[in-house]
């Protein structure tokens, strides 16, 4: 007959397995994480470059609109220049025309700079997209592989749920609720192994809790080794067990 503590350990291990399976089903699997992050980062880079290109295009259009506006103004000045009567008016108008022409040159330069910026961004986008193609392809393949794996993880989770229900049915109610209380306090992690302290100097053997390092008394070790009851660590209050490598 399986002893109580063995069943509790089997229950903990099934619960751990189920938690892991559920996390895998709801998230990105570890083996894909790096690729996923690289994929997202590259995609963000391309998006940022696209924004730079769009901004440059918008600014270029604004520059063109301003030039058109100034040119219309210049035409009006040309008409007015034939109608002025005083030297003063004439001079003032010439001044306006010079200012407008200077502004056109300035805005034209701005527009050219925008075009250069846009061309540069677009070349970079092109380059990034080509580099991205390969990554994107790999990412889709891995994603498909992960989708194909999901059903087996889901059925693993189903098996574990059944196993948990079975074990819970076999463990006496009092011990089960004790386990549940401890597990709830420790975020599902109800068990702690007893470890022997490495005594470099000769002296009596001593043991400690593998979770919190608190001292475990020899009588507790003996009691835990019988596997017929649940004993808690005096400090962290987890259920103690003796791992196989420390047994005997």
Smallest gap from residue 185 Cβ to Zn ion (A): 12
SS3 readout for 42-54: HHHHHHHHHHHHH
Nearest residue to 245 (alpha-carbon basis) of 194, 188, 171: 194
Nearest CB to Zn ion, comparing residues 18 and 191: 191
Nearest CB to Zn ion, comparing residues 191 and 192: 192
| Residue indicated by tokens 């001292």 | 215
Smallest gap from residue 11 Cβ to Zn ion (A): 19
Nearest CB to Zn ion, comparing residues 24 and 208: 208
Smallest gap from residue 166 Cβ to Zn ion (A): 29
Smallest gap from residue 133 Cβ to Zn ion (A): 53
Backbone angles phi, psi at 214, to 5 degrees: -70, 150
Nearest CB to Zn ion, comparing residues 76 and 185: 185
Nearest CB to Zn ion, comparing residues 157 and 192: 192
Nearest CB to Zn ion, comparing residues 49 and 233: 233
- Residue ranges binding Zn ion (CB under 5 A): 192, 209, 211-212, 214, 233, 235-236
Where does 150-223 show beta strands of DSSP type E? 191-196, 207-209, 215-216
Nearest CB to Zn ion, comparing residues 107 and 209: 209
Smallest gap from residue 187 Cβ to Zn ion (A): 14
Smallest gap from residue 234 Cβ to Zn ion (A): 7
Residue 19, both tokens: 């938690």
Contacts of residue 101, defined as CB under 8 A and 6 or more positions apart, other chains included, come to: 74
| Residue indicated by tokens 């007959």 | 1
Smallest gap from residue 210 Cβ to Zn ion (A): 8
Contacts of residue 131, defined as CB under 8 A and 6 or more positions apart, other chains included, come to: 42
Where does the chain show beta strands of DSSP type E? 191-196, 207-209, 215-216, 239-241
User: Whole-angstrom distance between the N-terminal and C-terminal Cα of the chain?
Assistant: 20
Three-state DSSP state, 195: strand
Pairing of strands 207-209, 191-196: antiparallel
Pairing of strands 239-241, 215-216: unpaired
């Amino acid at each position: 007959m399986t002893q109580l503590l063995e069943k509790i350990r089997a229950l903990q291990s099934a619960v751990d397995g189920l938690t892991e399976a559920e996390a895998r089903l709801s998230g990105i699997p570890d083996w894909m994480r790096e690729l996923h992050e690289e994929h997202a980062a590259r995609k963000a880079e391309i998006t940022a470059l696209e924004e730079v290109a769009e901004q440059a295009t918008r600014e270029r259009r604004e520059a063109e609109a301003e030039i058109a506006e100034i040119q219309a103004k210049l035409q009006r000045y040309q008409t007015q220049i034939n109608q002025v009567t005083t030297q003063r008016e004439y001079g003032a108008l010439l001044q306006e025309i010079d200012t407008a022409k200077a502004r056109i040159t300035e805005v034209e330069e701005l527009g050219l700079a925008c075009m250069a910026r846009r061309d540069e961004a677009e070349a970079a986008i092109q380059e990034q997209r080509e580099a991205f193609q390969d990554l994107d392809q790999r990412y889709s393949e891995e994603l498909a592989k992960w989708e194909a794996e999901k059903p087996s993880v889901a059925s693993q989770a189903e098996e574990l749920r059944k196993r948990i229900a079975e074990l819970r049915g076999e463990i006496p109610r009092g011990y089960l609720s004790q386990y549940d209380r401890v597990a709830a306090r420790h975020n599902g992690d109800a068990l702690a192994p007893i470890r022997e302290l490495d005594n470099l100097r000769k002296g009596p053997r001593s043991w400690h809790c593998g979770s919190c390092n608190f001292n475990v008394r020899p009588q507790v070790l003996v009691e835990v080794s019988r596997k017929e009851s649940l004993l808690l660590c005096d400090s962290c209050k987890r259920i103690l067990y003796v791992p196989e490598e420390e047994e005997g």
